[in-house]
Amino acid sequence: MQPVSNSVDLTSKIPNNVGLSDDPKLRKALERWLPNYLDWWRDMGPSDFADKPVYLRTAISVDNAGWAHYDHVKMPDYRWGIFLNPLKEDEATIKCGDDAGKAAWAEVPGEHRNALRRIIVTQADTEPASVEQQRLLGHTAPSLYDMRNLFQVNVEEGRHLWAMVYLLHKYFGRDGRDEAEELLNRRSGDEDKPRILGAFNQPCDHWLSFFAFTMFTDRDGKYQLAALAESGFDPLARTTQFMLTEEAHHLFVGQTGLQRIIQRSAQLEKMDPNGDVRNQGGIDFDLIQRTINYWFTYSLDLFGGEISSNAADFFASGLKGRFREAKKYEDHKAQSGDYRMHLVEGGKLVEKDIPLRNAMNEVLRDEYVADCERALRKWNKVLEEEGVETRLTLPSRRFHRHQGIHAGHFFNPDGELISEDEYRANEQKWLLTPADNDYLLSIMKPVHEPGKFANWIAPPSRGIEGKPLEFEYVRL
C-alpha cells in the first residue's frame, strides 16, 4: 500500500480524546482505514455537494465549549473525531445483569468478545447505511436550511461510524479490523451486500421519508445507544453516551420536519375551497399517515424479537441495559418477574407472560413507543391550533412487522388479527405505495434561495445557532 500522505497529521485531522497520538497501534489501524473511508464517502456520501461550504457543527472536544463548533466547512474536510464521555471512575460499574454493581470492564472480557463485537458491528452498520440511503436528497432539498440539516446528519452518521470503528480497532484485534473494512463494503439496498438490518435497506428517496426516517429510525438508534450507554464494557458505554448528544439533533430534524409538513398541510387544506391539500401542491394527511405507518413499523423491527434469548443473554451478562437502567430501576438483575405480551397462538391473539429478561427488547420498544407518542401529541396539537379536524395516530406495534413474534401474521393498524386477504386488500390504504412516491417526487423541487421554503413545508420557528432563516446555510 502507498504511504498515506495525511498519515503524519492524522491526530490533528482527527480530533479525539482517546490519546490517539500516544497509541501507535491504533493510529496505524486507523491510518489504513482512513483512505478507504474517504473513498466510501466520495462514492456513497451526499452526491455532488463535496465542494460546497456547509454551515456545520463539529465536535472538537467533549467539554461544553468544544463539542459544538459551528463554521462553513466542505463536507470532505469535516473533522471526523473520536470522542468518549470522560471517564468517571466511581460510575464505571456494570449496570445490569448477574454482575450488576461490580467494576465495569475497561477491556473486552473474553467470554463476551463475540457478543460485543456483534453488537458493535450491528450498531456501526446503521451509521453508513443511512448516509447511503440519503445520498440523493441534497438535490431536492426544500430549503438551504433543510439541506444543511441533512448534511449535518450525514457527517455525524459518518462520525458515529468512526466512533464504532475506533472500538473495533482498539479492542477487537484483527477481527475488529476485518469488520471495520466490511462496514465500508456493504451497501444499503444492495442485493448481494445489503446492510445488516431491514430498515436500513429501504429506499429513502424523498424528503417525507427522510423526515420520517430521522423521526422514527434514528429514534430507534437513540434507544439502542441508550441501552448500550448502560453497558458494562466501559468504552462502549462512554462512546455511545457521547453519540447520544449528536443523535438528539437528528431526532429534532425528523420531528420538526414532519411537524412543519403537517402544519403546512393544515394551512393548505384551509386555503383550498374543497379542502384538497394536493390541489394546493401539498402532502395530504392520508399520505402522511401512510408514511408514519410505514416507517414506524419498520423501525419497530429494529428492536429485535419480542421473546429473545439474545436479549436475555445481553442483559444477564451486563452488555446491554434498559433505557436509563442506572437511574430508572432499582432491581438491576431482573432475574424474576414476567412481562405480559400479546401473541398469536392457534390463530388467536392471546396474552402470555414471558420472563422479563427474555422480553428486554420489548421493554426497550415500550420506551420507544412512548417517545413516539409524545411526538404524535405535539403534531396533533399543531393540527388543533390550526383548526383542522384530522388527527394522526401511531399504528399498533403488531401491524406490518417483519421481525419477531408478529411477523408472518396479519394485523390491521389497530392491531386486530385479520386474514391475509383482508390485509392485502387494504395494504394500499395503510402503507406507502409507488404512486405516493411518484407524487412526492413530483412536488419535491429544490429551493435554493436563502430564507425561502418549498410550498409543501412550513418554515421552522428559528434558524441554526441563532442565525436567521435567510442565512446562507449552504453556499452553492
Partner 1 sequence: MAEAEGQSFPAVDFERTPADYKHWKVSYDGEIARVLMDVDPDGGLRPGYELKLNSYDLGVDIELADVVRRMRFEHPEVRTVIVSSGNDRAFCAGANINMLGASTHAWKVNFCKFTNETRCEIEDAERHSQQVWIAACNGTTAGGGYELALACREIYLIDDGNSAVSLPEVPLLGVLPGTGGLTRLVDKRKVRRDLADVFSTTAEGVRGKRAVKWGLVDGIYPRSKFDEAMAKRAGEVAQEAAAKAGDTPRKGITLEPLQVSVEDNSRSYGSVRFSWDDETRIAELEIDGPSEADLEVVRGGAEAIYAAGSKLWALRAYRELDDALLHLRVNHLNIGLVLVRAKGDAQRLLDHDAALAKALESGHWFVNEVVAHMARTLRRFDLTSRSFFALGDAGTAFAGNLFELALASDRFYLLDDPDQPVHVGLGALNHGVLPMSHGVSRLDVRFYGDDAAAKALAGKQELLDPESADDAGLVTVLLDDIDWDDDVRVAIEERASLSPDALTGMEANLRFPMPENADSKIFARLTAWQNWIFIRPNATGPEGALTLYGKPERPRFDWKRV
Q: Using the minimum distance from each CB to partner 1, give the nearer residue, 186 or 322.
A: 186
- Minimum distance from residue 387 beta carbon to partner 1 (Å): 48
Count of H helices and E strands in the chain? 14, 4
The nearer residue to Fe ion, 218 or 230, going by C-beta atoms, is 218
Stretch that binds Fe ion, among 56-64, 131-139, 218-226, 405-413 (CB under 5 A): 218-226
Interface stretch with partner 1, choices 73-81, 164-172, 224-232, 309-317 (CB under 8 A): 309-317
Q: How far from 412 is each of 417, 419, 420, 429, CA to CA, in Å?
A: 7, 9, 10, 11
- Shortest reach from residue 309's CB to partner 1, in Å: 4
> Which of the choices partner 1, Fe ion, none does residue 355 contact, using the CB cut-off of 5 to 8 A by kind?
partner 1
**Residue 218, contacted partner among partner 1, Fe ion, none, CB below 5-8 A by kind:** Fe ion
Write the DSSP string, 173-197: HHHHHHHHHHHHH--TT-SSS--SS
CA–CA distance, 351 with 25 (Å, rounded to integer): 53
Q: Which stretch binds partner 1 (CB under 8 A): 38-46, 154-162, 193-201, 249-257?
A: 193-201
Count residues contacting Fe ion (CB under 5 A)?
Answer: 5
Which residue intervals of 48-199 are DSSP H helices?
113-133, 144-171, 173-185
Please choose, out of 308-316, 320-328, 423-431, 449-457, the segment that lies near partner 1 by the rule CB under 8 A: 308-316
Q: Which of 99, 132, 179, 218 binds Fe ion (CB under 5 A)?
A: 218
How many residues make contact with partner 1 (CB under 8 A)?
22
Site for Fe ion in 147-186 (CB under 5 A): 157, 160
C-alpha cell at 409: 401474521
Choose among 159, 31, 28, 158: nearest CA to 83: 159
State which of residues 47, 335, 393, 442 lies at the interface with partner 1 (CB under 8 A). 335
Choice from 143, 201, 291, 317 touching partner 1 (CB under 8 A): 317
* Angle formed at CA 223 by CA 460 and CA 179, multiple of 5 degrees: 110
Residue 250 contact partner, candidates partner 1, Fe ion, none, CB within 5 to 8 A by sort of partner: Fe ion
Residues sharing a CB contact under 8 Å with residue 225, sequence separation 6 or more, in sequence order: 123, 240, 243, 244, 247
3-state helix/strand/coil string of 347-406: CEEEEEEEEHHHHHHHHHHHHHHHHHHHHHHHHHHHHHHHCCCCCCCCCCCCCCCCCCCC
Backbone angles phi, psi at 103, to 5 degrees: -65, 140
Task: Name the minimum Å distance from CB 358 to partner 1.
Answer: 5
- Judge contact between 386 and 378, C-beta under 8 A: no
E strands present in 17-74: 53-58, 69-74
Phi, psi angle pair for 339, to nearest 5°? -125, 125
- Please identify, among the stretches 127-135, 263-271, 333-341, 454-462, the one whose residues bind Fe ion according to the rule CB under 5 A: 127-135
Residue 250 in the binding site for Fe ion (CB under 5 A): yes
CB of 413 to Fe ion, least distance (A): 26
From 191-199, 368-376, 421-429, 449-457, span contacting partner 1 (CB under 8 A): 191-199
Taking alpha carbons only, the member of 91, 100, 70, 80 closest to residue 30 is 80
- The least CB distance from residue 450 to Fe ion, in Å, is 26
Binding mask 71-110 for partner 1 (x = CB under 8 A): ---------------------------x------------
Q: What is the rounded distance in angstroms from the CA atom of residue 409 to the CA atom of residue 398?
A: 9
Q: Which range, of 88-96, 182-190, 216-224, 295-303, touches partner 1 by CB under 8 A?
A: 182-190
Binding site for Fe ion (CB under 5 A): 127, 157, 160, 218, 250
Binding site for partner 1 (CB under 8 A): 98, 114, 118, 182, 185-186, 191-194, 196, 309, 312-313, 316-317, 334-335, 355-358
